Chain A
């Protein structure tokens, strides 16, 4: 009894240590140039729209962005008519109607993005047991943010010889444990960009990451613009207050 307990504990210890070892194998994602980083950063509209196209034609097969509504797309430069068209391509369940029946109708701009699977179980059933996470907050929900998402999307490699992958898994340099259930999502020319940008894996990863960064922080441009004004105002105010303080205290020194 005691022996078996010890062996169980030892096995758990070995497993957990190998687990941490494997997690340590993930490579730190390289820094990228992002249009939205820095004090005055704004989202590159071209990259946003191309990124939406990549999401819509590639990622959306498995991943939801459930916190976005179609109307939000007007913020990245799509016209209202265009957004209506994008929304209408999807079906949502509405109701109940006068007869008490639920019914299907084309999505409207006010609807949230339609999820590819109705629930987690369906998503797992369709993906070899793995659950494709929602992507709305992905760039905020991972250490490394946008750099990590970009690195992950373009970080698929042939596994080293000694590395044994489980059935249906892929090797990714940047994923914790290097074993990821998502097959390489992007391949050369997977989408055809309307603006004739060459759809390389790196380009698509960059565009869709920009789109996801906007999805996670749609307030970013507004926030930074307001921040510059607020900080400038406060700097002037603080300078004035310092002058007043000097003046008030001058009769003491």
Chain B
């Protein structure tokens, strides 16, 4: 035990029996991280922190919430009015969902821009897509719980989608509802699943991090770290950088929580659910709008539906397209087979990447608009382009794009940019003095 790397005898004693401190030392301090990560690499740890905030506030909310159609709406209002700091906990949870999606969307687009899904990080990426799917399910289930008008009608619209599945569709919908309409059994099972899924999420995030630490982070240049000079220990460099990023995030986040807590919500959800009154426009939360636009763009007369109209109904086509818009991400590492990771060295891909970002924003706007001209045409075109990007453009780019020459190492451009050889010249690993 005398050879333990820990000076504190208690720490050394514990670590000899349960190596938690060695594990933390290895994964946080020794863990070599490329030294050129930019601020877009903050969003992974930020997403993890938001998940913790969501779980903590969610557990407290569940102590006061009543999952029954007759009491759910009023129990939320009781939390807002009579529970100590209830309004704060609920507004943090409510806006936390939006923050989670903003952060995760940026995290995903960062992965796309810098080619973080490419070998050897395919499984890391796939686990990320699984995380996105579970997040979306969790958010949808959670939005139903306050039992407002949008909760009820959103649940009705989304669960009804499954009826488009041939043969078993109606049985699946009945199973989801626990009856023949969205009612008390639906609310109860949604609450149960909403409490369960975040913990499933935690498990998959652990795998996501294990896969990440196997080969370490990608970096803005997208080439592998070659020598110890290319890397710095995660702690203290990235812990402090992540903390600063967290500070900036919290300023913006609490700006919403305290000064515009309902900005991202829909007024109709402050009207208690009423199965007899349909809201004029049923819209999902903002983070689902692009997917909602893809779903609605498959109308009976849509050009994108014609080629498959002999095969299935427009409704089923829309449902499949909506799921396919995420499923396509699973095979992204193989659709984009260019050997160069970072868009910095892929002049054409860089332009198509930004086109995709604009396309997703257009889809989001279309999803918020009523299903009428010109929005249906626009969302049909945007949907077509979304799939064109992944299925046609990316594979072709891999063949025809002329990429720029890659630097030989991460340190090289840093040396060129900075004056002199200074610290990077020494061959020993970067270590905090």
CB neighbours (8 Å) of B237 from chain A are 248-249, 252
Asked if A219 CB lies within 8 Å of chain B CBs, one says: yes
CB neighbours (8 Å) of A141 from chain B are 267-268, 270-271
CB neighbours (8 Å) of B77 from chain A are 67, 136-137
Q: Which of B255-307 contact A (CB under 8 A)?
A: 255, 257-259, 261-262, 267-268, 270-271, 280
Shortest CB-to-CB span from A100 to chain B, Å, is 25
Asked if A226 CB lies within 8 Å of chain B CBs, one says: yes
Choose from B87, B280, B418, B433 the contact partner of A251 (Cβ within 8 Å).
Answer: B433
Q: Would B251 and A226 count as touching, CB distance under 8 A?
A: no
Shortest CB-to-CB span from A147 to chain B, Å, is 12
Q: Would A253 and B240 count as touching, CB distance under 8 A?
A: no
Given A141-B267, A248-B432, A241–B255 Cβ distance below 8 Å? no
Asked if B232 CB lies within 8 Å of chain A CBs, one says: yes
Shortest CB-to-CB span from B276 to chain A, Å, is 10
Q: Would B271 and A245 count as touching, CB distance under 8 A?
A: no
Given A244-B240, A245-B240, A245-B244, A224–B433 Cβ distance below 8 Å? no
Asked if B407 CB lies within 8 Å of chain A CBs, one says: no
Most buried by B among A39, A72, A237, A252: A252
Shortest CB-to-CB span from A114 to chain B, Å, is 16
Shortest CB-to-CB span from A137 to chain B, Å, is 4
Given A223-B258, A249-B237, A234–B250 Cβ distance below 8 Å? yes
Q: Would B241 and A231 count as touching, CB distance under 8 A?
A: no
Shortest CB-to-CB span from B124 to chain A, Å, is 26
Shortest CB-to-CB span from B365 to chain A, Å, is 17
Could you tell me the distance between the alpha carbons of A79 and B143 in the complex, rounded to whole angstroms?
A: 39
Q: Would A238 and B259 count as touching, CB distance under 8 A?
A: no
CB neighbours (8 Å) of A133 from chain B are 271
CB neighbours (8 Å) of B88 from chain A are 223, 226
Which residue of B is nearest A41, CB measured?
A: B259
Given A140-B262, A141-B271, A219–B418 Cβ distance below 8 Å? no
Q: Which of A135-152 contact B (CB under 8 A)?
A: 136-137, 140-143, 145
CB neighbours (8 Å) of B270 from chain A are 137, 140-141, 216
CB neighbours (8 Å) of B247 from chain A are 234, 237-238, 241-242
Choose from A23, A219, A244, A245 the contact partner of B87 (Cβ within 8 Å).
Answer: A219
CB neighbours (8 Å) of A238 from chain B are 244, 247-248, 250-251
Which residue of B is nearest A67, CB measured?
A: B77
Q: Would B433 and A227 count as touching, CB distance under 8 A?
A: no
Shortest CB-to-CB span from B277 to chain A, Å, is 10
Choose from B254, B267, B280 the contact partner of A23 (Cβ within 8 Å).
Answer: B280
Could you tell me the distance between the alpha carbons of A252 and B406 in the complex, rounded to whole angstroms?
A: 23
Could you tell me the distance between the alpha carbons of A205 and B247 in the complex, rounded to whole angstroms?
A: 42
1/0 contact string of A21-39 vs chain B (CB within 8 Å): 0010000000000000001
* B interface size (C-beta, 8 A): 37
Could you tell me the distance between the alpha carbons of A28 and B261 in the complex, rounded to whole angstroms?
A: 23
Which residue of A is nearest B235, CB measured?
A: A248
Shortest CB-to-CB span from B225 to chain A, Å, is 15
CB neighbours (8 Å) of A72 from chain B are 81
Asked if A230 CB lies within 8 Å of chain B CBs, one says: yes
Shortest CB-to-CB span from A159 to chain B, Å, is 22
Q: Would A231 and B258 count as touching, CB distance under 8 A?
A: yes
Could you tell me the distance between the alpha carbons of A219 and B261 in the complex, rounded to whole angstroms?
A: 12
Which residue of A is nearest B254, CB measured?
A: A230
Q: Would A226 and B258 count as touching, CB distance under 8 A?
A: yes
Q: Would A142 and B74 count as touching, CB distance under 8 A?
A: no
Asked if B118 CB lies within 8 Å of chain A CBs, one says: no
CB neighbours (8 Å) of B207 from chain A are none
CB neighbours (8 Å) of A235 from chain B are 251
Could you tell me the distance between the alpha carbons of A23 and B336 in the complex, rounded to whole angstroms?
A: 48
Asked if A155 CB lies within 8 Å of chain B CBs, one says: no
Asked if B236 CB lies within 8 Å of chain A CBs, one says: yes
Shortest CB-to-CB span from B123 to chain A, Å, is 31
Given A140-B270, A226-B258, A248–B251 Cβ distance below 8 Å? no
Given A218-B81, A219-B87, A248-B236, A39–B259 Cβ distance below 8 Å? yes
Could you tell me the distance between the alpha carbons of A137 and B232 in the complex, rounded to whole angstroms?
A: 54
Q: Which of A120-168 contact B (CB under 8 A)?
A: 133, 136-137, 140-143, 145
CB neighbours (8 Å) of B35 from chain A are 252
- Per CB-CB distance, the 5 closest pairs between chain A and chain B, nearest first, are A227-B258, A238-B247, A141-B270, A241-B244, A219-B87
Which residues of A are at the interface with B, using a C-beta cutoff of 8 A?
A: 20, 23, 39, 67, 72, 133, 136-137, 140-143, 145, 176, 216, 218-219, 223-224, 226-228, 230-231, 234-235, 237-238, 241-242, 244-245, 248-249, 251-253
Could you list 19 A-B pairs, sorted by A, with CB under 8 Å?
A: A20-B370, A39-B259, A67-B74, A136-B77, A145-B267, A219-B87, A223-B91, A223-B258, A226-B258, A227-B254, A228-B258, A230-B254, A244-B243, A245-B240, A245-B243, A248-B432, A251-B423, A252-B237, A252-B423
